[in-house]
Structure 1
Amino acid sequence: MKSFHFLTPILIITALLLVACNGSAVPVSPEPTDGSSSTATTLVVWDQFYRDVESHVMETLNAEFEQAHPGVKIERVVKTLDDLKVTLKLALTEPNGPDVAQVNQGRSDMGAMVQADLLLPLNAYSEQYGWGSIFSTSVTSRNSFTPDGKTFGQGNLYGVSPTAEVVGVYYNKGIFAEHGWQVPQTFEEFESLLAEIKAAGITPISFGSLDGWNAIHEFSAIQHLLVTPEYINNLVYGVNNVSFDIPENQKAAEILLNWANSGYFTEGYAGIGYDDSNLLFKAGNGAMTITGSWLAGELVTDTDQQFGFFLLPPFEGKSSMAIGGVGIPFAIRKTTDKADLAAEYLNWMVSPRAAELWAKAGMLPAMSLPEDAGIETDNLFGDTLIAWQTINTNNAVGHFIDWATPTFYDTLVAELQKLLGGMSTPAEFTAAVQKDYAAYLDSIK
């Protein structure tokens, strides 16, 4: 939540071997000793792929894993991200808790769980399965902490991510074509387009802030066009003593507030949830929406609308950067007695077969696609793939800023609600967020 620079390309061609198993391709790996007996072995997996398209991918991958491991049963528990954040830490302390779970990156989730000694370091398994040939070090750093959970981006690997993510702008191709609107090339053109769409009686940006977290993306998408990759990296990793209370962040808050006051968002957006706003957009209510590539698969099914995707364009004469990275990783409960089987499951989640299924579902895989996958790219998926490759190639992959402190997510949600509700100014917003950030930096000195 997914996520958020100087990334080297993720899509490194890997040579994982595939074998046929009941007609399904699975990576070669040691047979699990705890799944080979006549007694069924249950592997409990918590994931947050709850939307229809992504859930189908998980069901397919789980079924094929079970086929390749006779006697193994995947007990899948599906959560929303918010529910996962609330319930997972306690569940990992239980002896019958999930063996494998998706753990959101950042200090408030993965960092806190590492600090509580709840997650198994994956360094040995990474070496065993060659994950270093699939993911760059700058990618694995996003799933890494020192053993005490205090230093983000260094130390042990605690998760592997099956998907890549980039936050940008989805647009309704039919609405654009009907009015002769073009994809803007600069931020100035983008803001002019917002005014033009509003004047035409159409909602410029489909948006609902009820769930809180997507308001962070709305703000940070603008922020990423105003700050440098070095700044956003320092902010998230908590190094070099940067501050949130800077003119660039105040400017981003001013722009966001102006969009709200100008009526560019869905009417009544404060009472609309993320999924509901997406359903409105999917039904043709709104010209654009700003969110991540994870939504693409949902926009190509059960709709008569056609959608495209582009990066929020840079200010004229300036370089571009976008929120991005890898998706929420799978991790292993430290106290599980099925660690080897769980590691095999993680390896399957980042296999070429998994990459193929995610791509066919319209979602960006974090690993390279098989050469014979035959994935069409002249479509919405192709748009998101081009956007990802653009920021990845240009070292312009930013961060999900709520990772920065254990309480940053809650602070950002609360302060953005105040800002958009007219209860604070942009300067007061950045000052309040900085108070949280400074307190955390002081606590880890």
Structure 2
Amino acid sequence: MVKKKLVYGLAALLLTGCGLTGLMGCGNKATAEGRTEIEIVSYKKEAVDTFNKIAARFNETHDDIHLTIDSPNEAMTILKTRFIREDYPDIIVIGGDMDYSNFLDAGLFADISDLDVLSETKSAYLDMDKQLEFIPQDGTYGLPYAANAAGILYNKDMFEQHGWETPETWNEFTALCEQIQSEGVQPLYFGFKDTWTCLAPWNALAVSLADPQLCSQVNNGTTTFTKAYDETAEKMKALLAYGEPNPTAYSYNDACTAFARGQSAMYTIGSYAISQIKSVNPDMNIGTFTFPANEKEADNVLNSGIDVQFCVMKSCENKEAAYEVLRFLYRDDTIRTYLSEQGGIACKQGDFPLSSELEGVSPYVASNRMADFQDHHYPSEMSVDAMIQTYLLDDSSDAKETFLNKFDKDWKRYNRDLIWKIQQYNEKDGTSEDTK
């Protein structure tokens, strides 16, 4: 029986807070006559039409397996409720984030190390999944499929008109912002009214300025956020000089609209905002460059994280059928179908096209110079986005110290059980913290 560690942590919250919403997603699996039924539940509601098309293509070409891909509203809530009831799908579609970490820690996923197409995955994304493990585990538990990227979007036509060049270092970036301002144009737009947008530039800076395993290192007691995030916090604050006045007065939609209408030359957001921007200005010529956080270009890293991956549930009774589905999903033509409709970066090795908007970061993708979003390791209860917003609004002389001290204090508060578990693991494993 699948471990029930997840039940005790989630049962009260989900069954009282979610009520019938979660239960409505739970039903008996239908089995097509003469076929093995494989059910996938996806959290990517916006990709429902694409996954339906892929499922239909699979079913047309397979007589022995019938594939159903469900993409319900509030998918993660429904999944957690189903897990409590031990009503598991065969495969789930999930991002590389804390939900993945929690489900893996609860022992819900099967080890897919023996899946042949796994060897075709880019190493950077397999590494990201390993870094999401609370406790190091043998094996592989996710098949990364599509990723997104975050850096700085820029107005290519405006850059060409003014003769501006994309920067590669922090000094070049700040000098460019000064030059843009001197020509009567606003360099950046933020839209920090929606607190989550504060994480976009924060993540893009942090991946180049902090270790990708920083959160694990803090849990192990080998460093602190006060030490590791000092430069990130400093440069995050410095950005405010180049954006709109009172950025917390403007929302994400406001920022997308303003950038689309040429009210700034650049926008500190991820590739996921491109469709929203183009809904305002379909003809806008958008480019992307990696956030030049360092004084040396060679030290810069592209902020890219797993947006879609497939995890086989440990309870799956038809592993070979599930693997056949994954092999179909990992075919080049299937991946191209997904990317053409949903965008993003292929996690599979090979010659997969990047959208024109992402061409500027292609050298980083090709060379695996990528690191995961730092906030994928933050517990949601900690509300780091709101912490960053508060810090940006704090004009006191000790604002940075206050922010970083709170980061360390709240981290211990919200990760107390996890830190204890890691300490127990380290004592049992006998591994020195200095080697982790």
Pairwise TM-score range, normalised by the shorter structure: 0.7 to 0.9
The amino acid of 1:383's aligned partner reads: G
Distance 2:254 2:310 in 1: 27
Asked if 1:140 is matched to 2:121, the reply is no
Partner of 2:55: 62
Query: Equivalent residue of 1:158, what SS?
Result: coil
Alpha-carbon separation, structure 2, partners of 1:428 and 1:313 = 26
1:363–1:403 distance in 2 versus 1, CA, 3 Å: closer
Correspondent of 1:363 among 322, 336, 344: 344
Counterpart AA for 1:131 = V
Deviation at 1:217, TM superposition (A): 2.9
Task: Report the equivalent of 1:430.
Answer: 404
The one-letter code matched in structure 2 to 1:103 is I
**Structure 1 equivalent of residue 135 of structure 2:** 151
Contact 2:94–2:307 (CA under 8 A) maintained in structure 1: no
Contact 1:160 1:330 in 2 (8 A): yes
Match of 2:92 in 1: 101
Shift of 1:109: 1.5
Task: Report if the CA contact (8 A) 1:144-1:158 is conserved.
Answer: no
What SS is found at the alignment partner of 1:224?
helix
Q: Deviations over 1:176-208 (max 9, x none)?
A: 223232212321121222234345554432333
Does residue 113 of structure 1 match 2:103? yes
Which residue identity lines up with residue 117 of structure 2 in the other structure?
W
Q: How far apart are 1:245 and its partner, in Å?
A: 0.8
Aligned twin of 2:389:
417
The answer to whether the Cα contact below 8 Å between 2:150 and 2:290 also exists between their aligned partners in 1 is yes
Cα 1:305–1:139 change in 2 (3 A) is closer
Give distance in 2, aligned partners of 1:342 and 1:368.
22
**1:326-383 deviation per Cα after TM superposition (whole angstroms, max 9, x unaligned):** 334222344455554444333333321233234545421111346xx7x5x6933433
The separation in 2 between residues aligned to 1:310 and 1:356, in whole angstroms, is 23
Mapped to 2, the partners of 1:133 and 1:217 lie a distance apart of 31
Question: Which structure has more RCO (C-alpha within 8 Å, separation ≥ 6)?
Answer: 1
Q: Between Structure 1 and Structure 2, which shows a larger proportion of helix residues?
A: 2
Aligned match for 1:329, one of 309, 330, 349:
309
| Partner Cα distance (2:245, 2:52) in 1 | 34
Tell me: CA distance 1:188–1:91, structure 2 relative to 1, closer, same or farther (3 Å). Answer: farther
Amino acid in the other structure paired with 1:288: M
Change (3 A) 1:369 1:138: closer
Q: Distance in 1 between matches of 2:245 and 2:347?
A: 32
Asked whether 1:77 is paired with 2:76, we answer no
Do the aligned residues in 2 keep the contact of 1:144 with 1:156 (CA within 8 Å)?
no
Letter paired with 1:364: I
Could you tell me whether the CA contact under 8 Å between 1:62 and 1:74 is conserved in 2?
yes
Q: Is the 8 A contact 2:122 2:349 kept in 1?
A: no
Q: Is 2:105 the counterpart of 1:122?
A: no
1:189 aligns with 2:172: yes
Query: In the superposition, relative to structure 1, how do residues 294 and 388 fare at CA in structure 2: closer, same or farther (>3 Å)?
Result: farther
- Matching residue of 2:264: 286
Q: Deviations along 1:274-332, whole A, 9 cap, x unmatched?
A: x6644543454432223334556776787111111211224334622232243342223
For residue 290 of structure 2, the aligned residue among 301, 311, 322 is 311
- Compared with structure 1, are the counterparts of its residues 442 and 47 closer, same or farther at alpha carbon in structure 2 (3 Å cutoff)? closer
Query: Per-residue deviation at 1:419?
Result: 0.9
Shift of 1:156: 3.4
| CA distance in structure 1 between the aligned counterparts of 2:147 and 2:273, rounded to whole angstroms | 12
Structure 1 residues without counterparts, runs of 5 or longer: 1-33
Provide the C-alpha distance between the structure 2 equivalents of 1:279 and 1:62, rounded to a whole number of angstroms: 35
SS at match of 1:74: strand
Contact 2:147–2:306 under 8 Å retained in 1:
yes
| SS of 1:205 mapped into structure 2 | coil
| TM-superposed deviation, 1:226 | 3.1
Distance 2:349 2:375 in 1: 28
Return closer, same or farther for 1:150/1:75 CA change in 2, 3 Å cut-off: closer
Between the aligned partners of 1:333 and 1:210, the Cα distance in structure 2 is 38
Deviations along 1:65-103, one digit per CA (max 9) or x if unpaired, are: 232235735242155xxx555554234334555443233
> Is residue 272 of structure 1 aligned with residue 255 of structure 2?
no
Corresponding residue SS for 1:182: coil
CA contact (8 A) 2:188 2:242 kept: no
Alpha-carbon offset, residue 130 of structure 1: 0.8
How much has 1:432 moved relative to structure 2? 1.4
Q: Distance in 2 between matches of 1:122 and 1:250?
A: 38
TM-score, normalised to structure 1, is 0.72
**How far apart in 1 are the matches of 2:335 and 2:264?**
31
CA contact (8 A) 2:259 2:277 kept: no
Query: 1:409: Cα distance to partner?
Result: 7.0
Give the greater-gyration-radius structure (CA): 2
SS of match in other structure, 2:33: coil
Question: What does 1:120-269 align with in structure 2 at a 5 Å threshold?
Answer: 120-123=109-112, 126-127=113-114, 129-135=115-121, 139-144=125-130, 150-152=134-136, 154-227=137-210, 231-236=211-216, 238-239=219-220, 241-246=222-227, 249-260=229-240, 262=241, 264-265=243-244, 268-269=247-248
Give the counterpart of 2:356 among 379, 391, 394.
379
Cα distance, 1:37 vs structure 2: 2.4
Q: Secondary structure at the match of 1:415?
A: helix
Q: TM-score, normalised by structure 2?
A: 0.73
Give the 3-state SS of the residue equivalent to 1:193 in structure 2.
Answer: helix
SS of residue paired to 2:226? coil
Using the aligned pairs only, state the percent identity.
Answer: 19
Aligned to 1:29: none
Q: Structure 1 residue 399 and structure 2 residue 385: aligned? A: no
CA contact under 8 A between 1:121 and 1:158: conserved in structure 2? yes
What amino acid is aligned across from residue 356 of structure 2 in structure 1? N
5+ residue gaps, structure 2, are: 1-29, 424-436
Distance 1:224 1:120, change over 3 A: closer
CA distance in 1, matches of 2:135, 2:286: 40
